[in-house]
Structure 1
Amino acid sequence: MRHRRIGELMTREVVSVSGDAPFKELARVLTHHRVTAVPVVDGAGRVMGVVSEGDLLRKAADHGAVPGDRPPVPELEAWERAKAEGTRAEELMSAPAVCARADWTVVEAARLMEVQGVKRLVVVDAEDRPVGVVSRRDLLAVFLRGDEDIRREIVDDVLGATLRLDRADCTVEVRDGRVELAGRLPYRGMVPAVERMCAMVDGVVSVSTTRLGYETDDTPGRHGTDDTPGRHGTDDTPGRHGTAAGGSGR
């Protein structure tokens, strides 16, 4: 099982600007290249920060008003006011830049975007020089994987190579990224583990184990095989423990 790496999804054509780039040049760069943000680099090409449309629009929103018109935006904090009054990239940029590495997984990049509240990440090399940009839209590309591709990875990598299960023990159906598992596993404790591992496969939307049973209940407090009716093997009766009901989404 292999998560897709950022290097496979990122846009490699990186448009960057120098720290002394003036406001109007920044507006031209964003408009001409049809991008919403650009990294700001120093003399050695290392990323110092990022200038976005939002950074430029802050100046427009706080622009000095003419007599009788509404005053500049009053809610801006001191640092926002300083940026609004800036005229060069190094004064307008958001710093430090939120960056990623090309060998990061989609999961790592998505988590960083969520924590930092950003829509894109500058991808840098070991010298902190930009080599690409990855956006939320790029990360969503993993959900465009075909159902058969997802099913093959679950069968070959998760159930086969990792868990060493016989293909006859567990069948896998995938429709629109929704995975449904059926069959019988050796132990009850394997059911949630299989569910979690399948949910981690790129492109999976949800996992259902309602049709997945087990041979032996190895959960804490039980010793060996429990012969109590309805607790051993697959039991289709509602509320019984033989069928491990559950499901998870990504």
Structure 2
Amino acid sequence: MQHRTVADLMTRDVVRARRDTPFKEIVELLARNDVTAVPVVDELDRPLGVVSEADLLRKCSAQADPSGHAPLPHPEAWERAKAAGVRAEELMSAPAVCARPEWSVVEAARSMAAQNVKRLPVVDEAGRLRGIVSRGDLLRIFLRGDDAIRDEITRDVLGRTLGLAPSGVTVEVHEGQVTLGGSVEVSSLIPIIERLCRNVDGVVSVSAHIGYRIDASRTSPTGA
């Protein structure tokens, strides 16, 4: 089975800022390129941090409400520093949480969840920026068609990996949801089939209704 990597999904033409890029220019970069954040890089194009719309909006949220309806906030020291920032290095969230091109979708998604970030700059072996991958990019694997998913399960999972006859296990896929039927020789093979199917790109869920001839839980090992 072949899994798509971060390199397959990332945006390669990355809009970036430098340490000294001013506040207004960053806002213009976001608007002009229809993005919600930009990595901030050093002179060697290595990511230092990321400036997002949320970082920039602290400038607004720290101000008094002209209508007088919203109470004046009492931000933390780091929030006050960001609100007062005028250059990228003062506004960015740092350090940058980065990914590598060879990472799997699972690895990138787990990193985003663990670090509570929405995007990851992608760097090469030298730490230089090579792309950026967002949550939306990772979710693109679920745009894969049902026919492609079914073909991979039938050909690669059941055939090449497990060596099962095409007529043994039936595969139906609807909206990424896989339903397995048919029968196998030994019951212990069923959870293996389920696990391998779940690992196929684009699979949302797996439901197995597979029969078996031998119940592995009832067989006892033979003694010497």
User: TM-score if structure 2 supplies the norm length?
Assistant: 0.92
Structure 2 Cα separation of the partners of residues 21 and 72 of structure 1: 29
Structure 2 Cα separation of the partners of residues 141 and 162 of structure 1: 26
**1:189 correspondence with 2:197:** no
Q: CA deviation at 1:178?
A: 1.3
Q: The residue matched to 2:181 in structure 1 has which SS? A: strand
In the alignment, structure 2 segments of 5+ residues that lack a partner are none
Matched with 2:23 is 23
Aligned Cα root-mean-square deviation (Å):
1.8
Q: CA deviation at 1:69?
A: 8.7
**1:14 correspondence with 2:14:** yes
Q: Deviations for 1:56-103, whole angstroms, at most 9, x for unmatched residues?
A: 10111113678x8966421x2222222222111111100011111111
Q: CA deviation at 1:216?
A: 1.1
Q: The residue matched to 2:216 in structure 1 has which SS? A: coil
Q: CA deviation at 1:119?
A: 1.5
Structure 1 Cα separation of the partners of residues 63 and 85 of structure 2: 11
User: TM-score if structure 1 supplies the norm length?
Assistant: 0.82
User: Which one-letter code corresponds to 2:189 in the other structure?
Assistant: M
What is the aligned length?
220
**1:129 correspondence with 2:131:** no
- C-alpha change, 1:168 and 1:44, in structure 2 (3 Å) is same
User: Which one-letter code corresponds to 1:127 in the other structure?
Assistant: A
Higher relative contact order structure (alpha carbons within 8 Å, sequence separation ≥ 6): 2
- C-alpha change, 1:20 and 1:71, in structure 2 (3 Å) is farther
Matched with 1:48 is 48
In the alignment, structure 1 segments of 5+ residues that lack a partner are 225-250
Q: The residue matched to 1:99 in structure 2 has which SS? A: coil
Q: The residue matched to 1:153 in structure 2 has which SS? A: helix
Structure 2 Cα separation of the partners of residues 190 and 70 of structure 1: 61
Q: The residue matched to 1:138 in structure 2 has which SS? A: helix
Q: The residue matched to 1:90 in structure 2 has which SS? A: helix
User: Which one-letter code corresponds to 2:56 in the other structure?
Assistant: L
Structure 2 Cα separation of the partners of residues 113 and 2 of structure 1: 23
Matched with 1:232 is none
Identity over the aligned pairs, expressed in percent? 55
Q: Deviations for 1:157-213, whole angstroms, at most 9, x for unmatched residues?
A: 111111111212212111221111111112111111111110111111111112x01
Matched with 1:161 is 160
